[in-house]
Chains A and B, each alone.
Chain A
Amino acid sequence: MTEYRSFAAVQTDLKAGSITCRQLVDHYLDRIAEQAHLNVFTQVYTDESRVQAEQVDRKLANGTAGRLAGMVIGLKDVLSHAGHGLRAGSHILDNFTAQFTGTAVERLLAEDAIVIGRQNCDEFAMGSSNENSAFGPVRNAADPTRVPGGSSGGSAVAVQAGLCLASIGSDTGGSVRQPAAFCGVVGLKPTYGRISRWGLVAYASSFDCIGPIANTLADVALLLEIMAGPDGFDSTVSTQPVGAYTQAVTAPVKPLRVAYLREGIDSEGVDPAIREATRQKLDQLRAAGHQVDAVDISLLKYLLPTYYILTTAEASSNLSRFDGVRYGYRSPDSTDLITMYKRSRTEGFGAEVRRRILLGTFVLSASYYDAYYTKAQRVRRLMQQEMERLFTQYDVLLSPTTPTTAYRLGEKTSDPLQMYLGDIFTVLANVVGYPAVSIPNGHDGSEPALPIGLQLMTPPFAEERLLTVAQSLQ
């Protein structure tokens, strides 16, 4: 069967009658089995996806199919899907079955998307390499000795390796965009509140966003258009009208004021191949007649510390619900309540999750609250103000998505700080709540060659502009 790299191609062949959804699903199930060593799926819904495919085939035949008929997707294992397991890459959710379907997933199903399985990720979406999973690490299909990025590593590799057409991930500090960059696919983090978080396992609630991963901007735009919008189950979701994202992808690009992060080119920490690939894109923009300027973000070096103070604080609070009482793992040998809580949590959570809960508990403790947590909240406001000023002068901000290409498995696991520093270009969008997308930007000179990502960012709710500009660079 053809290796489909866009939904438009699938739709053309479905319409021509040269394939069926059932054949598509069978093809992906074969691919998943062939590529099992990549460790992408934590569960494959073999029988269910076949049944679902046949239902969609019938709907296509009688003209009642939804907009996603023929779209075979995978879900990061942090998205609630009723009657299916939900583990968040953690032992603490052993044997847990989701009680309800989250809003974003519900909307995809209502448009006849076919869910083929759940995808491996870093535990509770905490990690940048997909090595913090109770299900073992995911491998990058470009080079299986290397990490896929994280935390939505399985979701990115699934698209990269052709195991499904698109994936739904989550992005708290770059968890959609960074693995998209490492795997050579497109990943979008929308504006905070653009997509309801109902049914997304919470990591850091004021940062978390659901985001699509696909081969093309058109597919990412379509998924965003369907998932976005008001929802009675999330009090932080935006009531702003949902844009015509699918049209934005084909819209002509107007002359733009483009800023690029000077640090993204000049910093010694940026791989030379990434620097060169980013420069070429800037030249391309200049040649197309856009204004292109280097900008500095004065608070750049404070971004990551701010991010880690606030997200560990929010995580320590969010993850307090995992206590072994109502669901999930309970340590078998506890005789009193406190011991039961402690043993269940200590045995159920992995080391990085426990480290972040401890850090968060520390920064929220009475004696240190103002010095760390309140301080970071103040710096967060300054960052938001700085970005607001920047975007009065510019339409879009460019940088590499990551300072390096995919590193080797185990290379950064011993030093959490080294791992954190790789998020430098992606966390900005989450700290200020802005939308950003990572698009493929060539490969480095490694053997085998590793994908490079380019990141574009716009002000809140300017996803249409983001998609239009990104498409012009493809």
Chain B
Amino acid sequence: MITTELLHKIAHLARLDVRPEEEASMLGSMNDVLTWMEQLNEVDTEGVEPLTHISPENNVLRDDVVMNQLPREQALVNAPQQDGQFFEVPKVLE
């Protein structure tokens, strides 16, 4: 069961705010979904290896070649704030 406190902790980890007007409905719907997910406890998975890759061909590799696919100017095109060289963010250190 997720409590209000836990919801806020998860939200912080996910770098989200819980909107006050949504707190109750978010909590309710998440707990409904989690309770439903807990049905999996009925399945005996003793000794079953977790499936971590869906394709048997995982990690099809190629040679790593140095290339510049995204020139700086183009990389900065979508930035909300930039100075022509770097992405800018609010001050991190005082």
Chain B residues with CB under 8 Å of A238's CB are 55, 57, 60
B87 touches A377 (CB 8 A): no
- A340/B89 contact (C-beta < 8 A), A357-B14, A361-B13 known: yes
- A338/B22 contact (C-beta < 8 A), A206-B54, A377-B50, A417-B32 known: no
Q: Residue among A207, A324, A329, A358 with the most chain B CB within 10 A? A: A358
- A380/B60 contact (C-beta < 8 A), A309-B37, A362-B34 known: no
- A378/B89 contact (C-beta < 8 A), A341-B15, A365-B13 known: no
B43 close to A (CB within 8 Å) = yes
Chain B residues with CB under 8 Å of A235's CB are 58-61
* Minimum CB–CB distance for A320 against chain B, Å: 8
User: Complex: how many Å from CA A354 to CA B21?
Assistant: 14
Which of B16, B30, B57 has a CB less than 8 Å from the CB of A236? B57
- Give the interface segment out of A92-100, A151-159, A212-220, A268-276: A92-100
- A351/B22 contact (C-beta < 8 A), A302-B40, A377-B51, A381-B50 known: yes
Q: How many A-B residue pairs have CB under 8 A?
A: 174
B62 touches A376 (CB 8 A): no
* Minimum CB–CB distance for B59 against chain A, Å: 5
Q: How would you classify the secondary structure of chain B's contact residues: helix, strand, loop or mixed? A: loop
User: Complex: how many Å from CA A372 to CA B41?
Assistant: 9
* Minimum CB–CB distance for B16 against chain A, Å: 5
* Minimum CB–CB distance for B52 against chain A, Å: 6
One digit per residue, 1 when the CB lies within 8 angstroms of any chain A CB and 0 when it does not, for chain B 4-31 equals 0001001101111101001000100110
User: Complex: how many Å from CA A246 to CA B48?
Assistant: 40
A305 touches B15 (CB 8 A): no
Which of A329, A336, A415 has a CB less than 8 Å from the CB of B90? A336
Chain B residues with CB under 8 Å of A52's CB are none
One digit per residue, 1 when the CB lies within 8 angstroms of any chain A CB and 0 when it does not, for chain B 74-93 equals 11011111000001011110
B45 touches A330 (CB 8 A): no
Chain A residues with CB under 8 Å of B68's CB are none
